[in-house]
Amino acid sequence: MALLVYDITSRESFEAISNWLEECKVNGNPEMSLILIGNKTDLASQRQVSHSEGEAFAQKNGMIFIETSAKTDSRIGEAFTKSASLVNSKINKGSIDPKNEMFGVKLGPTYNVTESAFVKQATTPKKQGGECC
């Protein structure tokens, strides 16, 4: 997974994306998913790169496109959720083997949401009558 980020208020940063994309293709795994992120939507009045330019570049290169603002936290979670979804989809299809680190994915601890400590804590009845913990 690679997130290629440019500043929508900087034409130069957008033009550099081509070089970063090439680096990903040369040095990355062929199954690597790419997301193009135009950042700083909070500075839209200073925009030098239109939404349609970013979208067209992403579409031409088989990338997902999203515009965000790290400053205002606009669509940041969505960018990471889309990233995780792409990786998960490729794992489920078998095009990424999470046991092979050459794919850039490393298995960590797995959790069953219904078994999480948070859920257990939220659903466990509280003890009454002076007992602690």
Tell me, yes or no, whether 86 lies in a domain. Answer: yes
> DSSP string spanning the chain?
-EEEEEETT-HHHHHHHHHHHHHHHHHS-TT--EEEEEE-GGGGGG--S-HHHHHHHHHHTT-EEEE-BTTTTBSHHHHHHHHHHHHHHHHHHTSS-TT-GGGS--------GGGSHHHHHHHSPPP-SS---
Residue 37, strand partner residues: 5, 66
> Does 128 fall in a domain?
no
Q: Is pLDDT at 129 greater than 60 in this prediction?
A: no
**129 found inside a domain:** no
Q: What is the mean pLDDT of residues 47-54?
A: 98
Is the pLDDT at 133 greater than 60? The verdict is: no
Number of domains in the chain: 1
Does residue 131 belong to any structural domain of this protein?
no
Domain ranges, residue 28: 2-123
Convert the pLDDT of each residue in 72-106 to its tens digit: 999 999 998 998 888 889 889 988 888 877 777 77
CATH number at residue 104: 3.40.50.300
Residue 16 binned pLDDT confidence (cut-offs 50, 70, 90): very high
Counted residue by residue, the chain has a size of: 133
| Distance from C-alpha of 54 to C-alpha of 22, rounded to nearest angstrom | 17
In a domain, 133, yes or no: no
In a domain, 132, yes or no: no
- Look at residue 33 and tell me if it is in a domain: yes
Tell whether 105 is covered by a domain: yes
